[in-house]
Amino acid sequence: MYRDLTKGSIAKGLIWFALAGPVGEVGIRIDSPIGWFLADFVGCGYYLRRRKALLPQN
């Protein structure tokens, strides 16, 4: 956690500390899979919208 606060986003660390009480350990543990899903969803959406520009034309 210390490395996260010094090398990563300070806001992310503060949000983790603020939410630790209300959502508990379970909320903190499900936060990573939710982030993975959102990142995959945004990445797939970006690819589908921009695939013609992203793929080389032969």
- Which tens digit of pLDDT belongs to each residue from 16-47? 777 777 777 787 777 778 778 888 999 999 98
What's the structural domain count of the chain? 1
Residue 10 binned pLDDT confidence (cut-offs 50, 70, 90):
low
Give me the residue label for tokens 């990573």: 32
Residue 57 binned pLDDT confidence (cut-offs 50, 70, 90):
confident
How far is it, in rounded angstroms, from Cα 44 to Cα 51?
10
Paired tokens of 56 = 């080389």
Residue 11, domain member (yes or no)? yes
Residue 8, domain member (yes or no)? yes
pLDDT at res. 58? 66
pLDDT at res. 56? 81
Domain carrying residue 37: 2-53
Residue 58, domain member (yes or no)? no
Does the pTM surpass 0.85? The reply is no
pLDDT at res. 44? 92
